[in-house]
Amino acid sequence: MGEYDDEDGALDVTESVQLLFVRHENSIRAFVRSLQPSLADADDVMQETFLTISRKSSTFEPGSNFLAWACGIARFKVLENFRQRKRANILSEAATTAYVDAQHGRVLEALAKSPYKDNTIVIFISDHGFHLAEKDHWQKGTLWEEATNSMLMCRVPGMTKPGGSTKACVSLQDLYPTLLDLCQMPKPDHVDGKSLAPLLKNPQANWESTAISYLYDRYASIRTEQFRYIRYQDGQQELYDHKKDPHEWKNEADNPKYTETLETLKRRLPALEHMASQLVRNRKK
Lowest model confidence (mean pLDDT) among 7-11, 118-122, 207-211: 7-11
- Written as one string, the DSSP assignment of 226-285 is SEEEEE-TTS-EEEEETTT-TT--S--TT-GGGHHHHHHHHHTSPPGGGSPPPPPP----
Is the pLDDT at 229 greater than 90? The verdict is yes
Per-residue pLDDT of 86-96, as tens digits, reads: 788 888 888 98
Is the pLDDT at 240 greater than 60? The verdict is yes
CA dist 93 and 152 (Å) reads: 18
Percent of the chain with pLDDT over 70: 89
- pLDDT category of residue 238 using cuts at 50, 70 and 90: very high
- pLDDT category of residue 81 using cuts at 50, 70 and 90: confident
Which pLDDT score is estimated for 127? 78
Q: Taking residues 250-275, what's their average pLDDT?
A: 86
Residues of the chain within CATH 1.10.1740.10 domain(s) are 13-80
Lowest model confidence (mean pLDDT) among 60-74, 123-137, 144-158, 163-177: 123-137
Which pLDDT score is estimated for 278? 67
Is the pLDDT at 37 greater than 70? The verdict is no
Is the pLDDT at 6 greater than 50? The verdict is no
pTM of the model: 0.65
Is the pLDDT at 20 greater than 90? The verdict is no
Cβ atoms of residues 11 and 24 within 8 Å: no
pLDDT, greater one: 198 or 149? 198
Task: Domain 13-80: give its CATH architecture.
Answer: Orthogonal Bundle (1.10)
Which pLDDT score is estimated for 139? 75
Which pLDDT score is estimated for 269? 79
Per-residue pLDDT of 184-225, as tens digits, reads: 999 998 888 889 999 999 998 888 877 888 888 778 899 988
Is the pLDDT at 115 greater than 60? The verdict is yes
Cα of 13 vs its chain's centroid, Å = 45
Is the pLDDT at 3 greater than 90? The verdict is no
Q: What is the mean pLDDT of the chain?
A: 83
Nearest to 231, CA basis, from 250, 212, 246: 212
CA dist 144 and 140 (Å) reads: 9
Is the pLDDT at 161 greater than 60? The verdict is yes
Per DSSP (E only), the strands in 114-262 are 122-125, 131-132, 138-139, 152-155, 211-215, 219-223, 227-231, 237-241
Query: Torsions phi, psi of 223, nearest 5?
Result: -120, 130
